[in-house]
Amino acid sequence: MKKSNIVLLVLIAVAIGVIVTVAGDFSTYETFATARQKEGKEFQIIGKLDTTQTMHYDPIRDANLFSFYVKDKTGETRRVIFYGTKPTDFEKAESVVLTGKMAENGEFKCSKILMKCPSKYKNDQVVTGNKV
């Protein structure tokens, strides 16, 4: 075998190793149950705001503390603690993606919130073709 072929095979093996290592770090949406099993590890959880329970945000006492309840895709509801200001129009979000860790007391400590808001184009009709 030529030296160039051996070097090429080694480079391909290293590239595959890097891809496998990096692919293991890609996060998928998890549930509260998964996050509870691995306390301390950061997860992304997708869910809906539970409007039957109260949100707490008092900017006068602490502008960087916001708590609310979220129901994940399996139906499990947990209290979420976010150390930041309450996002604008938070109540209007169709769903939320929470990045954070599960605490020992069963609360989800959130470091980042991504909101999916209702589409303003949802009820609009798309007209195709030419009118005569």
Q: Is it the case that residue 125 has pLDDT exceeding 70?
A: no
Rounded distance between C-alpha atoms, residue 69 and residue 122, angstroms: 26
**pLDDT-derived band at 106, boundaries 50, 70, 90:** confident
Give this prediction's pTM: 0.68
Q: Domains in the chain and their CATH numbers?
A: 28-116 (2.40.50.140)
Nearest C-alpha neighbor of 46 from the set 63, 28, 61? 28
Rounded distance between C-alpha atoms, residue 55 and residue 95, angstroms: 15
Query: What pLDDT, on the 0 to 100 scale, is given for residue 68?
Result: 94
